[in-house]
Structure 1
Amino acid sequence: MLAGFTNMTFEFGARAIVEEATWHIQPNERIGLIGYNGTGKSTLLKLLVGEYLPSAGTVERSRGTSIGYLHQDLLSFDTNDSILEVALGAFERVRQLEVELEAVGKELEKTGDEDLLIKYTDMLHEMDTLDGYNIHHKTEEILQGLGFANADLGRPYKEFSGGWRMRVLLAKMILQAPDLLLLDEPTNHLDLPSIEWLEKYLTHYQGSVVIISHDKYFLNRMVTKIIELYQRRLHIYNGNYAFYETEKELRLDLAQRAYENQQDYIRQQERFIERFKAKASKAAAAQSAMKRLDKLDRLEDIGIERPSLRINFQVDKVPGKVLCELKHLSKSFGNNKIIENTSAEINRGDKIALIGANGKGKSTVLRIIAGVESFTGERRWGHNVDESFYAQHQLEALNINDTILDEMKNAGSQKTELELRTILGCFLFSGDDADKKIKVLSGGEKARVALAKTIISKANFLMLDEPTNHLDMHTVDLLIEALNKYEGSLILVSHDRYFISKVANKIWEIDDHQIKDFNGGYEEWVEWKERMKKKADEEKRIQNTEDRIQKGGGKSQASDTKGQKTEEKPKSQPAPVAQPQPVLAKQEPVNKEAKKELQKKQRLFKELEEKITTLTTQKNQLEASLASPDVFSDKNKFLAAEQSYKSTVENLKQASEEYEKVFESIIDLESQ
C-alpha cells in the first residue's frame, strides 16, 4: 500500500465531509475520484498529502513513498526563470551533480589529485545511474507533448497565463515520477491534442495515479477504478467510468428494493402489533414483534442526492436558412497569424464544435463571430438571427459589482422580478442568494449565472466558449440534454470530448490558418482523421518503395548481365587495358548453385515489380471511385468499393514487403 485511509472521518466545523472512510491505494493503480461539486474531493487529496488532519481514524502513507500533487493553488508560484528551467527543477540531484562535476573537474585540471579523481569518477557513475545526461531531452519532449513550441522553452515562466503555467508544473511533476501522482482537474487547461498526449503518457506511467476529473472520456480511457464521494461515504467501483455508471445504477436499484422490502415488513409488523397488542391471547406475540422491530437495523432511503438544476432553452423566432457568412477572414496578433483568408457558413440547424490545438484561434474565431474581436474580411448575419454569447472567462460577460438579480434584469428579457427569481431558483440560487454580488461568487456559481442569462435571452443562435468549465458531470449531462432539445443553432468551443460528441453535428477544425468544415459528429471526425492518417502513412510507405524500385532498377539490369564474358563498349571508350576491370568481371567465380539462386531471385524481383505497378494502378482507380458521387451516395456500392480498396492496399503492402526482402537477398548474393 502506498497511502490511504482507515476509518477516517473529517469535519469542517459542524459539517462532516467524509465519515468512516477506508481506502487503500495500491502500486500501479489508476483511480478516478468523482463526486458532485462541493462534496469534498479536493479535500481528500489534501488529507492524503498531510495538508489537513483527520477528525477521527488514520491517514496512512508508506515510508519512502513519494507523492506529487497538482492543484490550482500552485499557480501562486512565480519566477523569472524560463519554463525549461522550471521543469528541469524536477531533477534537483542531477542539477546539483552538474555543478559539482564542473567544480571538481576544474580542480582536477589544476591538481591531478588521486582522491579527487576517485570522487569525480563516483559522481560520473551516479550521474549515469540517474540518467542525468538525458534530462534536457526528456524535459523538452514532455513540454512539447503538453503543447509548448520549441521557441517557447526559453521564455520566462511569468510571461505565461495560468493555464500554461499549470502545464509547466504538470510537466515538472511528471518528470519527478513520484510513486503516487495526485491530479486535481488536470485537463481543465489542456487542449485536445495535449489531453490525448497526457492519456498516452499516464497509461504507461510506472506509479499510481489518482485523478479528479469531470471529463468522462478521459476517465474512461485512463482509470481502472472509480472512488465516488457520495453522501459522506466512499464507494469503490472496480472499473472505468462507464462501468461505474452501470454498476451504480444496479447498486441503487438493489438498495432501493431492499429499503422498500424492509418498509413493507415494518408496516406489516406495526399493523400486527396495533391489532393484537390489546388481546390477551396475542399479547405475547405482539410483544415479540415489537422487540424484533426495536432490534431491526433499519435501512435508509437511498434517494439520489444531486443538484436539481433545470435547464430549458427557448427560441423566440425562426431565422433564415443561413445564419452567418464568414468571407475571407484574416486575424493576427502581431507576428502570430491566427487565420488567413478563410471562409465558412453557419446554417439553420447547425450545432458546430470548433476543434483545434491551443493557440490555433478557436476562441478568437468565436469572438469574431460574436462581434467582440476585430478582424479583416466580412462577417454577414442572416435574416431574423438573435444571438447570445456565453464567454469562457466569466468576468468578460458579468459585471462584478451587480447582484445576480441585477445581472439577470440587465439581460433584456423583459421578465418580471418574480419570473427572474423563479429562473434563478432553477439554477440553485434560491431566496436571498439572488441578492449576492457577482464578485463573491465561485467559478461554478458565475458559470451558472452566465448560463441563466444565456437561457432567458430566447436566442436562436448560441455561441458557447467552454460552457462545461466548473460544471460537474451531472450538470453537464443536464446541459447536453437541454442543447439537444434546443431548436436553434449553435457553435461551441470545448475541450470536453464527451460533451462535444453528444452535442455537435458538425466539426470546424482550425488547421493551417484555415477553417476546415467536416459534416458529421465528433466520433465520425476522429475516425475520419485516423483513416486519413493511415492512408497518408501508407502512401508514404508505397512512395518510398517505388523510389527504391527506381533505384534498384539499375542494379537489377546490371545483374541481368552476370555470367556474360564480354560487354560491348562504346567506341569512345579507351582501350580496356587502360581501365580497371569492371565489377562484373569480379563476379565470374560465382558457383553454379549461387548463380541459379540469383537468377531465380531476379525473376521473382521482376514479377514483384510488375505486381506492385498493377496494384498501385488498381489502388488509384479505387480511390477515384470512392470519391465518385455515384458510389458515395449508394451505401452498397461504397461498402463494396471500400472493401476492395482495403484488400488492394493490404496486397500492395504485402507485395512491397516481399519486394524489399527479395531486393536485399539479391544484394547479398551479388556481394558473395
Structure 2
Amino acid sequence: MLAGLTNVTFEFGARAIVEDATWHIQPNERIGLIGYNGTGKSTLLKLLVGQYQASAGTVERSRNTSIGYLHQDLLSFDTNDTILGVALGAFERVLQLEKELEELGKELENTASGRTAAQEDALLHKYSDRLHEMDTLDGYNIHHKTEEVLQGLGFSNADLQRPYKEFSGGWRMRVLLAKMILQQPDLLLMDEPTNHLDLPSIEWLEKYLVHYQGSVVIVSHDKYFLDRMVTKIVEVYQRQLHVYNGNYSYYEVEKVQRVELQQRAFENQQDYIRQQERFIERFKAKASKAAAAQSAMKRLDKLDRIEDVAIERPNIKINFQVDKVPGKVLCELKHVSKKFGDIGIVEDASAEINRGDKIALIGANGKGKSTLLRIIAGAESYDGERKWGHNVDESFYAQHQLESLDVNNTLLDELKGAGSQKTEQELRTLLGCFLFGGDDVDKKIKVLSGGEKARVALAKTIISKANFLMLDEPTNHLDIHSVELLIEALKKYEGSLILVSHDRYFVSKVANTIWEIDNKKIKSFPGGYEEWGEWKERQKANGGTEGKKSEAGNKKAEPAAPKKEVVAPKPEPVADNKPQPASVNEPINKELKKELQKQQKLFQQLEEKIAQLNKEKTRLEAQLTEPDTYSDRNKFVQTETDYKKVDDELQRMNKQYEEVFEKIMELESK
C-alpha cells in the first residue's frame, strides 16, 4: 500500500466531510475520485498529503512513497525563470550533478594547482562517480524529456525560453503539471488537471498517464477522461467512500443497481420496523403478550439499521423556452479576416449557420475559437461581412459577460431581472442545478468567486428565451451532474447553437456539426464528435489523403465523411418540420400552451390534495399509537380502516402526481 485512510473521520466545524472512511491506494492503480461539488474531494487529497489532520482514524503514508500533488493553489507560484527552467526543476539531483561535474572538470583542467598524485586520483575518482550517477539517472536526456512533455502539453519550441511569469494561469498550470510528471512520484494526486488543457493536450495526457509507472488519483468532471484513464472509481457520497472497480461508465451502471438494492432493503426493513413497533405498542401493556413485546423491543435495539439512499441532489430538469422561430439562415460570414498583430486567426473565411445546427467549434488553444465566437456574436472587430438572419434572438455566454452582472444584486434578484417570467420557486430550482442551494440564492453577487459568477451568468443565458445560443466553455465550473442536466436541456433545445468546449463528452452529446479552424479557414464536418474523431483517425492512417473537409456552408459532404445532411437527426423534430404560424411573432402553438396551463393547474391541485392526505395520514398514525385506540376494538378497527383508505388514496395521488409532472416536462420541452 502506498497511502490510504483507515476509519478516518474529518470535520469542518460541525460539518462532517467523511465518517469512519477507509480507502487504501495500491501500486499502479488508476483511480477517479468523484462526488458532487462540496462533498470533500479536494479535502481528501489534502488529508493524504498531510495538509489537513483527521479528527479520528489514521491517515497512512508509506515512508518510501513519494507523492506529487497538483492543485489550483499552485498558481500563486511566480518566477523569472523560463518555463523550460521551471520544468527542469523536476531533476534537482541531475542539475546539481551538472554543476558539480562542471566544477570538477575545471579543477582537473587546472594543471598548475600543485595537487599530489593521490589528490589527483581522488579527484578523478570523484569525477568518475558523478559521471556514473549521471548516467544511472539518465541525466543526459533530461532536456529532451522536458521539451517532449512541454510540447505534449501544447507549448511551442519558441515558448520554452520565455519567462514563466509572462504566461496566464492556465498555461502556468501546464508548466507545473509537466514538472510533476517529470518528477515521476510513486503517487500522483491531480485536482481537475483538464480544466486548463485543450483537446490535443488532454489526449496527450491521457496516453501518458495510461503508461505512467506510479499510481494516479484524479479528481475530474471530464467523463471521457475518466472512462479512458481510470480502472477504479471512489465516490464521496453521504459522508462515506464507495469503491467501484471499473471506469466511469461501469460506475454509472453499478451505482444504479446498488442504490436500487439498498433502497429495496431499506424499505423492507422500514416495513418490518413499523410492524414490530405496532406490535409492541399494541401488546406491551397486556400481561399475556408483555414478554413477546419485550423480545420485539430487544430485536429492534440490536437491528443493524440500513440507511436511506435518497439522492442528495434531485434529478431536476433544465428547460429552455423559445419565443419565436428564426429564418432558415441564422448567421452568414463572408470573406472574414482577423489578425492580432502579425498573428492571423482567420483569412478570407466563409461560413453559414442554419436553423437546427448545433455546432461545436473545437481544436487546440491559440487557434482562435473564442475569437471566432466573438466575431459571430458581434463582440470582436474583423474585416469582411457578418450577415444576421431574420428573426434571430441571440444570447452570448462567455467569461467577459460576467461584467454585465449587477454586483449589488442577490443571485435570485439577478435572475428575476432577466425577464423570464419564471416564478421564484422555478428560479430557485434552476439555481440549484447550477450548484447554488438553500441560502446561497440570497448572497450578493459581489461576494461570489469567479467560477460562481460564471454559473450565474450561464443560468441567465438559459432563461433568456433566445433561439440562438453562443456558449464559450459553459461546463468549466460545473460538476458532472450539472453537466448532465445541461446536456439534456441542450439536446431538447429547439433553437440553434454554437459552442466552444474542451469537454469531449459534452461535445459528443450536444453537437451535430463540428467546426475546426484549419489553415485560417473554417472547416465543417457534417456529423457528431465521435464520427469526426473516427474520420480524423482514418485521415491520419491514410496520410491525410482521404479527402478534405468541406468549407462551412458548402452543403456537399466530402467522400470520406458519412453521407448525411448537415443537420444530424435530433431527439425531437426541428422547427422546420412543424407547421409555421401565420405570423412569426405569434405563440408557436396555442393548443400546446392551453394544454400546458391545464396540466399545471391540475399539478397544483394534486399538490394540495397530497399535502392534506399526508396530514391526515400523520394524524391517523398518531391515533394508532394511542392506548385508547387499542382499548376500544371498534375504534381500533375503524382507525386502521381509515388509515389504509388514506394510504391507498395517497399512493394513487402520488402516481397521478408523477404522471402529470412528466406530462408537464414533455409539454415544456416541445
Q: Same fold (TM over 0.5)?
A: yes
In structure 2, distance between residues paired with 1:219 and 1:344: 34
- Out of 490, 500, 503, which is 2:510 matched to? 503
Query: Match of 2:386?
Result: 379
Q: In the alignment, does 2:166 pair up with 1:125? A: no
Query: What pairs with 1:255-334 in structure 2 (closer than 5 Å)?
Result: 255-306=262-313, 310-334=317-341
Query: Match of 1:100?
Result: 100
**How far apart are residue 247 of structure 1 and its match?**
1.0
> 8 Å contact 1:391–1:397 — kept in the other structure?
no
After superposition, the C-alpha distances for 1:48-95 in whole angstroms (9 at most, x for unaligned) are 111111111111110121111000000001111111111011111111
User: Which has the larger Rg?
Assistant: 1
In structure 2, distance between residues paired with 1:628 and 1:239: 35
Corresponding residue SS for 1:89: helix
In structure 2, distance between residues paired with 1:431 and 1:254: 30
Residue identity matched to 1:477 = E
Query: Match of 1:45?
Result: 45
Corresponding residue SS for 1:447: helix
> 8 Å contact 1:388–1:461 — kept in the other structure?
yes
**How far apart are residue 411 of structure 1 and its match?**
3.6
Residue identity matched to 2:47 = L
- Out of 154, 158, 167, which is 1:147 matched to? 154
- Out of 506, 521, 529, which is 1:522 matched to? 529
Q: In the alignment, does 2:90 pair up with 1:90? A: yes
The change in CA–CA distance for 1:397 and 1:186 in structure 2 (over 3 A counts) is farther
Query: Match of 1:222?
Result: 229
> 8 Å contact 1:342–1:514 — kept in the other structure?
yes
In structure 1, distance between residues paired with 2:560 and 2:411: 56
Moved more, 182-191 or 437-446: 437-446
Q: In the alignment, does 2:454 pair up with 1:447? A: yes
Moved more, 321-330 or 291-300: 291-300
Query: Match of 2:13?
Result: 13
In structure 2, distance between residues paired with 1:456 and 1:315: 9
In structure 2, distance between residues paired with 1:394 and 1:177: 40
After superposition, the C-alpha distances for 1:387-425 in whole angstroms (9 at most, x for unaligned) are 001113563453445443453355455778887667556
The change in CA–CA distance for 1:6 and 1:393 in structure 2 (over 3 A counts) is farther
**How far apart are residue 178 of structure 1 and its match?**
0.5
Residue identity matched to 1:287 = Q
After superposition, the C-alpha distances for 1:526-569 in whole angstroms (9 at most, x for unaligned) are 11111111122799xxxxxxxxxxxxxxxxxxxxxxxxxxxxxx
Residue identity matched to 1:380 = K
After superposition, the C-alpha distances for 1:459-483 in whole angstroms (9 at most, x for unaligned) are 0000111111111111111111111
TM-score (norm 1): 0.78
**How far apart are residue 334 of structure 1 and its match?**
1.1
> 8 Å contact 2:535–2:560 — kept in the other structure?
no
In structure 1, distance between residues paired with 2:444 and 2:194: 30
> 8 Å contact 2:269–2:306 — kept in the other structure?
yes
> 8 Å contact 2:402–2:457 — kept in the other structure?
no
In structure 2, distance between residues paired with 1:252 and 1:191: 36
After superposition, the C-alpha distances for 1:346-384 in whole angstroms (9 at most, x for unaligned) are 000011100110101111111111111111111111000
In structure 2, distance between residues paired with 1:372 and 1:288: 76
> 8 Å contact 1:307–1:428 — kept in the other structure?
no
Residue identity matched to 2:73 = D
> 8 Å contact 1:352–1:491 — kept in the other structure?
yes
Query: Match of 2:26?
Result: 26
Residue identity matched to 2:141 = N
Query: What pairs with 1:512-661 in structure 2 (closer than 5 Å)?
Result: 512-536=519-543, 627=559
In structure 2, distance between residues paired with 1:393 and 1:120: 58
Query: Match of 1:481?
Result: 488
In structure 2, distance between residues paired with 1:483 and 1:628: 29
In structure 1, distance between residues paired with 2:168 and 2:316: 32
Corresponding residue SS for 1:383: coil
> 8 Å contact 1:308–1:428 — kept in the other structure?
no
After superposition, the C-alpha distances for 1:274-298 in whole angstroms (9 at most, x for unaligned) are 4444444333323322222222222
Residue identity matched to 2:307 = E
After superposition, the C-alpha distances for 1:586-637 in whole angstroms (9 at most, x for unaligned) are xxxxxxxxxxxxxxxxxxxxxxxxxxxxxxxxxxxxxxxx9499x9689xxx
Moved more, 212-221 or 294-303: 294-303
The change in CA–CA distance for 1:97 and 1:399 in structure 2 (over 3 A counts) is farther
Query: What pairs with 1:354-373 in structure 2 (closer than 5 Å)?
Result: 354-373=361-380
Q: In the alignment, does 2:220 pair up with 1:213? A: yes
> 8 Å contact 2:433–2:482 — kept in the other structure?
no
Corresponding residue SS for 2:90: coil
The change in CA–CA distance for 1:413 and 1:291 in structure 2 (over 3 A counts) is closer
**How far apart are residue 429 of structure 1 and its match?**
4.8
Residue identity matched to 1:447 = A
> 8 Å contact 2:316–2:429 — kept in the other structure?
no
In structure 2, distance between residues paired with 1:39 and 1:183: 17
In structure 2, distance between residues paired with 1:148 and 1:275: 77
Query: Match of 1:348?
Result: 355
The change in CA–CA distance for 1:440 and 1:173 in structure 2 (over 3 A counts) is same
Corresponding residue SS for 2:523: strand
The change in CA–CA distance for 1:406 and 1:509 in structure 2 (over 3 A counts) is same
In structure 2, distance between residues paired with 1:309 and 1:49: 36
The change in CA–CA distance for 1:189 and 1:378 in structure 2 (over 3 A counts) is same
Corresponding residue SS for 2:161: coil
**How far apart are residue 261 of structure 1 and its match?**
1.0
Query: Match of 1:581?
Result: none
Moved more, 61-70 or 437-446: 437-446
In structure 2, distance between residues paired with 1:216 and 1:431: 28
Query: Match of 1:194?
Result: 201
In structure 2, distance between residues paired with 1:434 and 1:130: 56
Query: What pairs with 1:363-442 in structure 2 (closer than 5 Å)?
Result: 363-392=370-399, 395-408=402-415, 411=418, 413=420, 424=431, 427=434, 429=436, 433-442=440-449
Number of matched residues? 549
TM-score (norm 2): 0.78
Corresponding residue SS for 1:536: coil
Corresponding residue SS for 1:20: strand
Percent of paired sites with the same residue:
82
Query: Match of 1:560?
Result: none
- Out of 494, 500, 517, which is 2:501 matched to? 494
> 8 Å contact 2:318–2:430 — kept in the other structure?
no
After superposition, the C-alpha distances for 1:419-438 in whole angstroms (9 at most, x for unaligned) are 76675566565676444222
After superposition, the C-alpha distances for 1:496-525 in whole angstroms (9 at most, x for unaligned) are 111111111110011211111011011111
After superposition, the C-alpha distances for 1:86-135 in whole angstroms (9 at most, x for unaligned) are 10111111111111111110110013722211111111111111111111
Structure 1: unaligned runs, 5 residues or longer: 540-625, 635-672
Corresponding residue SS for 2:542: helix
In structure 1, distance between residues paired with 2:407 and 2:234: 37
In structure 2, distance between residues paired with 1:152 and 1:442: 31
In structure 2, distance between residues paired with 1:269 and 1:298: 14
Query: Match of 1:543?
Result: none
In structure 2, distance between residues paired with 1:627 and 1:69: 48
**How far apart are residue 266 of structure 1 and its match?**
1.6
Residue identity matched to 2:343 = N
The change in CA–CA distance for 1:399 and 1:114 in structure 2 (over 3 A counts) is farther
The change in CA–CA distance for 1:296 and 1:431 in structure 2 (over 3 A counts) is closer
